[in-house]
Chains A and B, each alone.
Chain A
Amino acid sequence: MKLTVNGKKKSFKGAPFKRLIDALREDFALTGTKEGCGEGECGACTVLLDGEPVNSCLIPVCQAAGRKVETIESMGAPEKLSKLQAGFLACGGAQCGICTPGMLMTAHAHLKGGGKCDDASVRTALAGNLCRCTGYQDIVKSVVAAAKGKK
């Protein structure tokens, strides 16, 4: 089975019903994607499938065949952070960090898709991403700041 992960063509030879999150973490060694609840409630495992945010814990890898998957590893590197990552760093958008990859991917899809960067729109876009450190204020602030290009 072939799929594109972070711009690279990959082939997957494991069980077709393996969850996308497990294929990413175990077969492709992309451990940036985290598992929170495993039932589609928390959004920690959010990746982009053909550009749209989805819960990778709810997708068998066979449904990603022939499609484009983007994970947090595609976003930026420590020496070259993306605007969003820089925003999270500047505004204290991460605390324990488990929800952060999902928050970043969902926010990235929202902004890339032309979503508005006011507080309410960002909150709606991130409604499927839970943060149990209760850092929502700073997460929203981070996304808004990044969208407006502020540091």
Chain B
Amino acid sequence: MRGDAKSMTVLSPRSAAEAVKTYAKVPTALPLAGGTDLMVGWNLGQLNGRAVLDLSRVAEWRRIKVVGDGVDLGSLVTHAQIQAHPVLRKRFPLLVAACATVGAAQIQNRGTIGGNIANASPAGDTFPALAVYEATVRVIGPNGRRAVPMSEIFAGVKKTTLKPGELIEAVFLPFPDQTPTRGVFRKVGTRAAQAISKTMFAGLIWTAKNGELADARLAFGSLAPTVKRLYAVEGFLRGRRLTDVSIAAAAELMTNDVSPIDDIRSTREYRLIVSRNLLIAFLKGEVK
């Protein structure tokens, strides 16, 4: 069965306050941003008879605001907008690179950062970058606003920790205190465009003057139900020099820390080998 437009109720709030109020009145409504995921299910007839909370008219959520200590991305900011923004290109290149791998132009023009997070796919393309930049998700609900660290926003496959009635208002990206020495985002899928990832890596390192690693932030996507920060590996590397020995040990730690699954897109073994190779290549400075 296909989607039946006549069976749908569309609610179109014009402001954040109105969106929260409307959502409270119709808690079963499905929040709709760019529609790149929701509409696929709807076209298959899976959402007939539902009410839709169309957020696309909430103009205040479309803006990118550069503030003193970071950049505030409205939840309706598209993957295309992120790629075009000069400050994001300069300061958050891993997020820009990730957005360039979401679908292709048609999807990047519609898909939003808030929708990507709310959808909570294990393969969400922006998540590894948001994790290493330590983004904060700002949500708004019946009890006001709260800020949720990226590390706490996901509860599982397709599940967030948003409470009933809450909507994502913005994603805040804090400027790193020091410019990273090296940063990389890599997505591995069946082809460069359109493909959903088998594994994804985002890494930032800061090297001190004496050659030791001052800090590292490393994250994988598609390897676990939610994005995976490699805290153990980061802790191990801090204060060490990157040598063949320390890199091999880091890779060993990483393989103990993740347990990818077999699914339609890839196998556990493939994911593990490729992810390990990505980490090693990044730490050796072989991927740009």
Interface residues of A (CB under 8 A from B): 14-19, 22, 38-41, 43, 46, 49, 52-55, 57-60, 62-63, 106, 109-110, 124-125, 127-129
- Flag if A57 contacts B10 (CB, 8 Å): no
- Can you sample 29 A-B contacts with CB below 8 Å? A17-B3, A17-B8, A17-B42, A18-B5, A19-B3, A19-B5, A19-B43, A22-B5, A40-B39, A40-B103, A40-B107, A41-B194, A43-B106, A49-B109, A52-B80, A52-B105, A53-B109, A54-B110, A55-B36, A55-B110, A57-B43, A58-B40, A60-B10, A60-B35, A62-B54, A110-B105, A125-B105, A127-B105, A128-B106
Contact of A39 among B6, B43, B105, B193 (CB under 8 A): B43
Q: Given the complex, which residues of B lie within 8 Å of A41, measured CB to CB?
A: 194
Q: Are B10 and A16 in contact (CB under 8 A)?
A: yes
Chain B residues contacting A19 (CB-CB under 8 Å) are 3, 5, 39, 43
Instruction: Give the CA-CA distance A89 to B259 in the complex, in Å.
Output: 52
Q: Is B104 interfacial (CB-CB < 8 Å)?
A: yes
B56 beta carbon closer than 8 Å to chain A: yes
Q: Is the C-beta of B192 less than 8 angstroms from some C-beta in chain A?
A: yes
Min CB distance A70 to B, Å, is 13
Residues of B within 8 A of A46 (CB): 106
Is the pair B105, A128 in contact by a Cβ cutoff of 8 Å?
A: yes
- Shortest Cβ distance from A67 into chain B, in angstroms? 10
Report yes or no: B105 in contact with A58, Cβ–Cβ below 8 A. no
B119 is an interface residue with CB less than 8 A from chain A: no
Within residues 16 to 44 of chain B, which ones have a CB less than 8 A from any CB in chain A? 32, 35-36, 39-40, 42-44
- Chain A residues closer than 8 Å to B42, beta-carbon distance: 17
- Interface flag for B12 (CB, 8 Å): yes
* Chain A: minimal CB distance from B103 (Å): 6
Residues of B near A57 (CB, < 8 A) are 39, 43
Residue B52, interface by CB 8 Å: yes
Interface size on B, residues (CB 8 A): 28
4 closest pairs, A vs B, by CB?
A: A128-B104, A127-B193, A15-B5, A17-B8
Are B40 and A40 in contact, CB atoms less than 8 angstroms apart? yes
In the docked arrangement, what's the CA distance between A87 and B264, Å?
A: 40
Complex Cα distance, B32 from A52, in Å, reads 20
Report yes or no: B35 in contact with A58, Cβ–Cβ below 8 A: yes
Residues of B within 8 A of A54 (CB): 106, 109-110
Cβ distance A48 to chain B, nearest Cβ, rounded Å: 10
* Bound CA span A76–B6, Å: 34
Q: Which residues of A sit under 8 angstroms from B52, Cβ to Cβ?
A: 17, 60
Q: Which residues of A sit under 8 angstroms from B193, Cβ to Cβ?
A: 124, 127-128
Q: Closest CB of chain A to B182's CB: distance in Å?
A: 25
Residues of B within 8 A of A15 (CB): 5-6, 8
Q: Once bound together, how far apart are the Cα atoms of A125 and B192, in whole Å?
A: 12
Chain A residues with Cβ below 8 Å from B80 are: 52
**What's the nearest-Cβ distance from chain B to residue A80, in Å?**
27
Q: Are B56 and A63 in contact (CB under 8 A)?
A: yes
A55, B10: Cβ atoms under 8 Å? no
Q: B32: which A residues are within 8 A, CB to CB?
A: 60
A96 to chain B, nearest CB (A): 20
Residues of A within 8 A of B103 (CB): 40, 128
Smallest distance from the beta carbon of B16 to chain A beta carbons, Å?
18
